[in-house]
């Protein structure tokens, strides 16, 4: 579990499809989407970014 790695949504690119909300099994997101539990994100997981159709997800901590 990570405070130094969590998704950041580019609101300008996001299509609000909520696929990331449905995909993540760790409760990081709530519909919107909103990142509501960044500490629950798994360090170095890129699952939600890979399934985002708009390439709108990057990660805090990804240098
Ligand atoms: S999967 Fe991508 S486009 Fe869809 S809601 Fe999430 S960030 Fe937005
Ligand atoms: S990176 Fe993985 S754990 Fe973190 S929000 Fe996306 S799917 Fe969930």
Specify the CATH number of the domain 6-60.
Answer: 3.30.70.20
Report cis status (omega within 30 of 0) of the bond before 12: no
What's the mean pLDDT in 8-35? 98
Which residue's CA is minimally distant from atom 4 of ligand 1?
17
Q: How far apart are the first and last CA of the chain?
A: 18
The pLDDT assigned to 48 comes to 98
pLDDT band at 2 (very low <50, low <70, confident <90, very high): low
Residue 26 has pLDDT above 60, yes or no: yes
At 52 the pLDDT is 98
Pocket test for ligand 2, best of 18, 23, 28 (most atoms within 8 A of CB): 28
pLDDT of 3 reads 78
Q: Counting Cβ atoms within 10 Å, is residue 9 exposed (0-12), middle (13-18) or buried (19+)? A: buried
Q: Is 62 exposed, middle or buried (0-12, 13-18, 19+ CB in 10 A)?
A: exposed
């Amino acid at each position: 579990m990570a405070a130094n790695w969590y998704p950041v949504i580019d609101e300008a690119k996001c299509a609000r499809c909520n696929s990331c909300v449905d995909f993540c099994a760790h409760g990081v997101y709530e519909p919107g989407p909103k990142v509501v539990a960044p500490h629950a994100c798994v360090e170095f997981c890129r699952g939600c970014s890979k399934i985002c159709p708009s390439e709108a997800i990057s990660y805090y901590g990804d240098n």
